[in-house]
Homo-oligomer: A and B are copies of this chain.
Amino acid sequence: MFSGFVGEYSSLWIAAGSGVLGLLFVWMTSKMVMKNDPGGQQVRTISRKIQKGAMTFLKREYTWILVFVLTLAVIIFFAIAKATAVAFIIGAGCSILAGYIGMKVATLANGRTAKAASGSISKALGVAFQGGAVMGISVVGLGLLGLSLVYIVLINLGLKEMLFLASLKNATSLIIGFSMGASSVALFGRVGGGIYTKAADVGADLVGKVEAGIPEDDPRNPAVIADNVGDNVGDVAGMGADLYESYVGAIISAMVIAVAAENTEGVMLAFLIAGWGIIASIIGVFFVKAGKAHPQKALRNGLISSSVALLLGTFLLSKFWYPTFDPFWSVLVGLIAGIAVGYTAEYYTSGKKVRQIAEASKTGPATNIIAGMATGMLSTAIPLIAIAAAIVIAYGVSGVFGVSLAAIGMLSITGMTVAVDAYGPIADNAAGIAEMADMGQDVRERAEALDAVGNTTAAVGKGFAIGSAALTAMALFVAFAKTADISIIDILKPSVVAGMFIGGVVPFIFASATMNAVGKAAYRVVEEVRRQFKEITGLIEGDAEPDSERCVDITTRGALREMVLPGILAIAIPIVVGSLLGLTALGGFLAGSLISGVPLAIFLANSGGAWDNAKKWVEEGNLGGKNSDVHKATVIGDTVGDPFKDTSGPSLNILLKLMAVVSLVFAGAIGSIHFCLAGLF
């Protein structure tokens, strides 16, 4: 298709250009967010507190990440390759930067959204969504820009010594470090962030609502700011880092698979689709206009127009530039699978299903819990069938490369999906600020309406995050097999069976560890809040200020400390299994982790979401309404669901991708260790 030297990788420059375009959009949108009225004194003070708390968390988290990344970089530098280590650092750096920008703007947008809500709901939606869009487009813009620039540099360095194809192969084998960097930040962002957000939530509720008997979001509660920070930490920075990881992982596995088949054009195609995806996402942003439409519909319009734009572009690419690959169908089935997983989540966490759980709560909390568990378990069927179908169809159309194309298809509109997700915590914060700053019934109601929409989109977003994690991990698994030069992984071989069984159990252990982590970190928050209520005179009476910063600090420390064990597990287990049982068994291990991990993640996320909404439905006045026995039962279900849906469930996304990336990056080293060990025994 292309000819000549520059042309051979002009697609990379096009992708980089899309990235730059995305960042320009981010810059302009941030300016627009800033132009909105930041509200009165009280609103500004609270918003600043949340922002300060969020930045405190990020700073501390990034310090840990720095230590972690540098340590790992040194290992990669010596054990794998210098360039891989550099790609690793840049991959992590771009993720950190995207998270920082997104959090900064999101915490600037929350107070402004609350203020805008005193005007109209449509204006408030605009501000909140702009805030979210900054995060969304930052993720894809920085991801694609960083990835293409590093790739161009690596290819050029190679070209000094070798021909184009050889240089491309070389660059691809080195750039997988970029994906590992993305995974490292996602590990801290999603797992650490997930522990943080629930520890703060549980801690604030247990002492505030239950022990002291003060309402939710009451400014006297020292943990309330930490709780608000937590929303941003989990659903802005955490979700962003998660999808950044999926996005980068999907593109890189497409590169690895294409290059293994000496399919240069496939590599370029992956970059072109991703580049066009950024533009499609930006197009979608312009379609989010509430006007007279329901905010829910406005957000859905954005998603639909992004999807349509993406498909249109891919269709043209497919028809005119790459008819041999025919990427359209793979991208289509990937996108459909993603949407299917997302909307299945919505179905099982709303309407009839939620009412059934509420009905079951009439006989107490135990039947509430059982009904929620049964619902979550049932909700795994359609997503897994959708993913399985996408794999079979994509493979049928474009071979093994099609699987990675499907993942890219699902993830190309990441800019838009993250924007919709990040909108949620901004609206949530706005509702909290409206409550704390006493902005009046009207404003509170509008802000809460926006928040309610955010809860639904959060369910869809979580589903989408799981679906994309599954498909990305699958693509990374194939890329691992290509890199390790494995052509068959036969499950009739005992070592593969053993690998699969062990892989299947790791998600359960990881879920257990993260659940326990929330409990331990929450306990530290509880102790601190109790201490402040006891030691700060006049706090309960409203005459003294709580020490919110200290609460943020303690929650941060607790969360980061508790994530060390799960983090080490995720990185060490594949290396240990591969070293002991060999690379083929490691392939079985990765497959096993996906087979049990994906349904487990969906089950945890959707059970949690369903319990949450069952509680909300009762609070709307159904089955006795607030403070009835049914309500109490649903509150217990909701509390069980908190770590399910916000910590353990989403953490599994990271686990699955991270283990695949670690296997991919360390494949050579693991192979050598196994060879030595096999020689010893």
Q: Which residues of A contact B (CB under 8 A)?
A: 206, 210, 360, 363-367, 369-371, 373-378, 380-381, 384-385, 387-389, 391-392, 395-396, 400, 403, 474, 478, 481, 486-492, 494-505, 508-509, 511-513, 515-516, 518-519, 526, 581, 587-588, 591-592, 594-596, 598-600, 603, 636-637, 639-640, 643
- Bound complex: CA A595 to CA B597 (Å): 10
- Bound complex: CA A249 to CA B199 (Å): 48
- Bound complex: CA A324 to CA B481 (Å): 37
- Bound complex: CA A490 to CA B504 (Å): 17
Closest chain B residue to A210 by CB distance? Answer: B364
- Bound complex: CA A381 to CA B508 (Å): 8
- In the assembled complex, the CB of A433 is this many whole angstroms from the nearest CB of chain B, namely 27
- In the assembled complex, the CB of A530 is this many whole angstroms from the nearest CB of chain B, namely 12
Which B residues lie within 8 Å of A381 (CB)?
A: 505, 508-509
Query: Assembly of this chain: how many copies?
Result: 2
Contact indicator B640/A370 (Cβ below 8 Å): yes
Closest chain B residue to A581 by CB distance? Answer: B392
- Bound complex: CA A395 to CA B325 (Å): 43
Contact indicator B403/A515 (Cβ below 8 Å): no
Which B residues lie within 8 Å of A496 (CB)?
A: 491
- In the assembled complex, the CB of A421 is this many whole angstroms from the nearest CB of chain B, namely 25
- Bound complex: CA A581 to CA B385 (Å): 13
Which B residues lie within 8 Å of A587 (CB)?
A: 491-492
**Also in contact, A384 and B487, with CB within 8 A (given A373-B515, A595-B596):** no
Contact indicator B378/A512 (Cβ below 8 Å): yes
- In the assembled complex, the CB of A662 is this many whole angstroms from the nearest CB of chain B, namely 19
Given A370-B519, A370-B643, A497-B591, 7 more pairs with CB closer than 8 A: A366-B637, A369-B636, A374-B512, A391-B494, A400-B494, A478-B492, A596-B596
Which B residues lie within 8 Å of A499 (CB)?
A: 388
Contact indicator A497/B380 (Cβ below 8 Å): no
Q: Which of A363, A385, A487 has the most CB of B within 10 A?
A: A363
- Bound complex: CA A283 to CA B366 (Å): 44
- Bound complex: CA A519 to CA B375 (Å): 13
Residue A366 contacts which of B387, B516, B603, B639 (CB distance < 8 angstroms)? B639
Contact indicator B384/A501 (Cβ below 8 Å): yes
Contact indicator A388/B501 (Cβ below 8 Å): yes
- Bound complex: CA A391 to CA B516 (Å): 31
Residue A636 contacts which of B365, B384, B489 (CB distance < 8 angstroms)? B365
**Also in contact, A494 and B375, with CB within 8 A (given A366-B639, A370-B643, A599-B505):** no
- Bound complex: CA A502 to CA B490 (Å): 18
- Bound complex: CA A118 to CA B548 (Å): 65
- Bound complex: CA A200 to CA B596 (Å): 32
Contact indicator A515/B374 (Cβ below 8 Å): yes
22 residue pairs of the A-B complex, CB under 8 angstroms, read A210-B364, A364-B636, A369-B369, A370-B518, A371-B516, A373-B512, A373-B515, A377-B509, A378-B513, A381-B505, A384-B505, A391-B497, A391-B498, A400-B492, A488-B488, A489-B490, A489-B491, A490-B491, A497-B591, A504-B595, A592-B595, A636-B636
